[in-house]
């Protein structure tokens, strides 16, 4: 539904057509428009929705399909494409288009986030509170367009010289204090790291990773721990499984939240699991790895070809 470059869009459409799919491209005209386009397509009788873009575009399209039984397929076309990398789809939209009809529809839970007085929003991959949300909040569209994923690393290292805001997290009746909370249903983080190690998009729980400390230099240690798979047991790191969490900060602290790489708002806030929310097309090899023993696997995609 959104991608950069008319030539690439045409190539993807041709690939989908050769696969027997009759696809109508609907480019988004402004931020926030993709969800409404998805809803209109469903109302018009579409039996498959493909989101062509980055994690933000995918998030918008998914938001428009919440509660619908129409499957959502992903074609990578953005900055980091965290979810596409997580599922093993990769970063080539043309290659992904050749495989769409092989993918399996799986009914999944999504995350649901609310921040301050803003309306609740669904997310597929992750919510970040504190450290990384501060980067997203300050990220300009121009910098993101120019540098891509590198813009986030630039933003991260720019925080090394400042003291971080701390906030409180309440999970299953227990209180925790941290400066960064990652609430995730995927292992991939930013396309380059794995922070959570034991979670799947098919799970009905989050893996929540909490990082303590005001000193931003501690994140150099945390980054190294993530790179060598040594976060579990590291001082200052808490890893939990839960279906909901609440976040609060002192009145004089500005602590932000992001979902799927897009800014949501500032604390107080909360996240929770929204069960049975969306049908997502997933490559069979990922479904085979992620389905728990005894779980019910999906079935090959079966759509009407017109």
Judge whether residue 117 has pLDDT over 90. no
pLDDT recorded at residue 44: 95
Could you give the 3-state DSSP secondary structure of residue 98?
coil
| Residue of 211, 270, 275, 277 whose CA lies nearest to 244 | 270
**Is the pLDDT confidence value at 304 over 70?**
no
- Rounded alpha-carbon distances, angstroms, from residue 47 to 123, 252, 297, 302: 22, 49, 21, 10
Res. 305: pLDDT tops 50: no
Q: Residues of CATH 3.40.50.10330 domain(s) within the chain?
A: 6-109+276-290
Q: Which residues on neighbouring strands pair with residue 254, listed in sequence order?
A: none
Which residues fall within 8 angstroms of residue 42, CB to CB, at 6 or more apart? 49, 64, 65, 68, 70
* Gap between the terminal Cα atoms of the chain: 19
* Three-class secondary structure of residue 47 per DSSP: coil
Is 85 buried (19+), middle (13-18) or exposed (0-12) by CB count in 10 A? buried
> Which spans in 173-232 are helix H?
218-227
Distance CA 283, CA 17 (A): 20
pLDDT tens string 127-172: 999 999 998 887 645 555 554 555 555 555 566 667 999 999 999 9
The mean pLDDT value for 174-199 works out to: 93
Tell me where in the chain the CATH 2.60.200.40 domain(s) lie: 111-274
Q: What is the pLDDT of residues 10-69, one digit of tens each?
A: 999 999 999 999 999 998 888 789 999 999 999 999 999 999 998 989 999 999 999 999
Identify whether the C-beta of residue 177 lies closer than 8 Å to the C-beta of residue 201.
no
**pLDDT tens digits for 71-104?**
999 999 877 789 999 999 998 999 999 999 999 9
Domain 111-274 has CATH 3.60.20.10: no
- Position 160 scores a pLDDT of 67
- Read off the tokens for 279: 């049908």
For residue 190, is pLDDT > 90?
no
- Phi and psi at 123, nearest 5°, equal -145, 150
> Which residues is 189 bridged to in the sheet?
193
Which residue bears the tokens 């893996």? 207
Among 256, 127, 136, CA closest to 195: 127
Read off the pLDDT of residues 243-283 as tens digits, 9 standing for 90 and up.
999 999 999 899 999 999 899 999 999 999 999 999 999 99
Architecture, CATH, for domain 6-109+276-290: 3-Layer(aba) Sandwich (3.40)
Instruction: Of 274, 269, 237, give the one whose Cα is nearest residue 256.
Output: 269
Q: How confident is the model at residue 291 (pLDDT cuts 50, 70, 90)?
A: low
Burial of 69 (0-12, 13-18, 19+ CB in 10 A): exposed
């Amino acid at each position: 539904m959104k991608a950069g470059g008319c030539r690439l869009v045409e190539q993807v459409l041709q690939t989908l057509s050769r696969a027997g799919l009759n696809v109508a491209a609907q480019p988004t005209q402004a931020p926030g428009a993709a969800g409404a386009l998805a809803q209109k397509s469903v109302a018009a009788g579409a039996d498959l929705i493909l989101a062509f873009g980055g994690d933000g575009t995918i998030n918008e399209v998914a938001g428009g399909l919440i509660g619908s039984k129409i499957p959502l397929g992903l074609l990578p076309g953005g900055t980091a494409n965290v979810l596409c990398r997580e599922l093993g789809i990769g970063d080539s939209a043309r290659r992904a288009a050749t495989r769409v009809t092989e993918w399996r529809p799986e009914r999944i839970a999504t995350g649901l986030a609310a921040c301050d007085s803003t309306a609740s929003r669904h997310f597929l991959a992750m919510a970040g509170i504190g450290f990384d949300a501060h980067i997203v909040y300050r990220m300009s569209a121009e910098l993101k367009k120019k540098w891509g994923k590198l813009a986030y690393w630039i933003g991260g290292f720019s925080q090394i010289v400042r003291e971080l805001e701390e906030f409180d997290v309440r999970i299953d009746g227990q209180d925790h204090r941290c400066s960064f909370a990652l609430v995730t249903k995927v292992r991939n983080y930013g396309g380059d790291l794995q922070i959570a190690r034991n979670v799947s998009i098919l799970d009905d729980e989050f893996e929540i990773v909490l990082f303590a400390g005001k000193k931003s230099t501690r994140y150099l240690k945390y980054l190294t721990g993530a790179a060598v798979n040594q976060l579990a047991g590291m001082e200052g790191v808490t890893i939990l499984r839960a279906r909901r969490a609440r976040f609060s900060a002192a009145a004089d602290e500005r602590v932000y939240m992001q979902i799927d790489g897009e800014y949501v708002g500032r604390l107080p806030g909360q996240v929770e699991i929204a069960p049975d929310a969306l049908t997502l097309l997933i490559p069979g090899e990922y479904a085979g790895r992620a389905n728990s023993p005894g779980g019910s696997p999906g079935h090959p995609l079966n759509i009407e070809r017109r």
